[in-house]
């Protein structure tokens, strides 16, 4: 498999794959949680009519019970809402004795549930990195995809039941992406760590000895100048950009593009003195103080990191902190 071209998939993509294989399918989605529920709102699991399952709605606590409900939904074509919690006598039977409550929406895919055409459209928009909201009435009476007119809904992690409790809105933001400029030792630690945290990595370095696929076997690697490579990759609101070369010839062209983009995080390696020189160059290039202040430099949280792996930990921690505070 060419992992540099791999596409992150989820429950919608798996559901469509099974439909194309002439299988029946139901989607189960966490719509509300209370207490110590193990999965966040929006977490999904897909179940085929043959009993196959992918994804998770509770980290293993109630999956068995949900699979049985999903199989019934596939057979009778009815959308249903399930609830499990420690106050429910069924909680211990299904394994939710650790605490918390969850509500789960189970929808068959097909004529009596989520239309196949709507699922195909959703998967296409996810692949094209187009933010989309899937709005469904909890009684299954109405469904729609929304891409315009509800911009406030596309903040990070805003899936949930609407104000009157009748409609669930699932936000399908593009996958998080990490673009690293500079295929150095820190990048070799940062890339796999970021992948485990849910980021799709892209490594950019025109120096082929550094940016060799063998050094980054699970990432897309581009041996091109950063400005050209970033123009090809694209930098959107779900992108974190980390510059690790502290070489102005490589970093500055990338920064010029990044500071004009919607990237949620921009970090640049270098000492305080190096960053001061960077700020001076950017000021001379016409960037104002507010724009330059977007750069986290020196990059990473100040945890006293020593060595490439610890620096990578500090960088990833800072990226996540910025993401969750957005």
**Domains along the chain with CATH numbers:** 7-172 (no CATH), 177-324 (3.40.50.720)
| Calpha distance 221→253 (Å, rounded) | 18
Question: Residue 172 — φ and ψ, nearest 5°?
Answer: -110, 85
Residue 259's Cβ-side half-sphere holds a number of Cα atoms within 13 Å equal to 22
| Structure confidence at residue 7 (pLDDT) | 39
| Calpha distance 203→305 (Å, rounded) | 22
Residue of 90, 116, 115, 118 lying closest to 104 (CA atoms): 90
SS3 163: coil
Residue 140's Cβ-side half-sphere holds a number of Cα atoms within 13 Å equal to 19
Cα–Cα distances (Å) from 131 to 14, 298, 314, in that order, read: 19, 32, 29
| Calpha distance 310→289 (Å, rounded) | 30
Output Rg (C-alpha) for the chain, integer angstroms: 22
Note whether 300 and 315 are within 8 A (CB). Answer: yes
| Calpha distance 222→212 (Å, rounded) | 9
Residue of 259, 282, 249 lying closest to 181 (CA atoms): 249
| Structure confidence at residue 111 (pLDDT) | 76
| Calpha distance 224→206 (Å, rounded) | 4
* Structure-block tokens of residue 62: 């109630």
* Structure-block tokens of residue 145: 């995809």
| Structure confidence at residue 154 (pLDDT) | 46
Question: Residue 261 — φ and ψ, nearest 5°?
Answer: -105, -175
| Structure confidence at residue 2 (pLDDT) | 29
Rounded (5°) CA angle 267-311-183: 65
Residue of 142, 181, 137, 128 lying closest to 162 (CA atoms): 137
| Calpha distance 39→250 (Å, rounded) | 40
- The strand pair at 132-137 and 143-146 is best described as antiparallel
Note whether 251 and 278 are within 8 A (CB). Answer: yes
Residues 6+ apart with CB under 8 A from 226: 181, 204, 206, 250, 251, 253, 254, 257
Note whether 315 and 190 are within 8 A (CB). Answer: yes
- Tell me how far the alpha carbon of residue 216 is from its chain's centroid: 20
Ramachandran category for residue 149: left, alpha or beta (phi over 0 → left; psi -120 to 50 → alpha) = left
| Residues of the chain falling short of pLDDT 50 | 1-7, 88, 91-92, 94-97, 149-156
């Amino acid at each position: 498999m060419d992992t540099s071209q791999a596409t992150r998939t989820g429950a919608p993509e798996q559901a469509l794959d099974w439909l194309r294989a002439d299988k029946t399918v139901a989607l189960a989605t966490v719509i509300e949680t209370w207490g110590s529920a193990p999965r966040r709102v929006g977490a999904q699991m897909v179940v085929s009519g043959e009993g196959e399952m992918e994804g998770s709605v509770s980290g293993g606590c109630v999956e068995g019970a949900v699979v049985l409900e999903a199989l019934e939904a596939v057979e009778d074509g009815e959308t249903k809402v399930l609830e499990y919690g420690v106050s429910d006598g069924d909680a211990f039977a299904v394994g939710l004795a650790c605490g918390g409550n969850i509500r789960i929406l189970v929808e068959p895919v097909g004529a009596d549930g989520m239309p196949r055409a709507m699922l195909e459209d959703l998967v296409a928009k996810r692949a094209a990195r187009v933010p989309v909201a899937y709005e469904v009435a909890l009684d299954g009476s109405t469904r729609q995809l929304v891409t315009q007119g509800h911009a406030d809904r596309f903040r990070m992690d805003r899936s949930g039941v609407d104000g009157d409790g009748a409609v669930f809105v699932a936000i399908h933001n593009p996958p998080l992406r990490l673009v690293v400029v500079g295929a150095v030792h820190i990048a070799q630690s940062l890339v796999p760590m970021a992948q485990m945290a849910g980021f799709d990595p892209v490594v950019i370095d025109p120096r082929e000895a550094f940016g060799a696929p063998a050094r980054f076997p699970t990432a897309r690697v581009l041996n091109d100048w950063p400005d050209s490579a970033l123009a090809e990759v694209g930098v959107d609101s779900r992108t974190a950009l980390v510059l690790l070369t502290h070489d102005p010839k490589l970093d500055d062209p990338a920064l010029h593009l990044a500071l004009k983009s919607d990237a949620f995080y921009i970090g640049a390696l270098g000492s305080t003195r190096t960053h001061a020189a960077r700020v001076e160059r950017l000021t001379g290039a016409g960037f104002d103080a507010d724009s330059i202040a977007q750069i986290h430099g020196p990059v990473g949280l100040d945890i006293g990191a020593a060595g490439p792996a610890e620096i990578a930990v500090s960088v990833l921690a800072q990226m996540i902190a910025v993401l969750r505070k957005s």
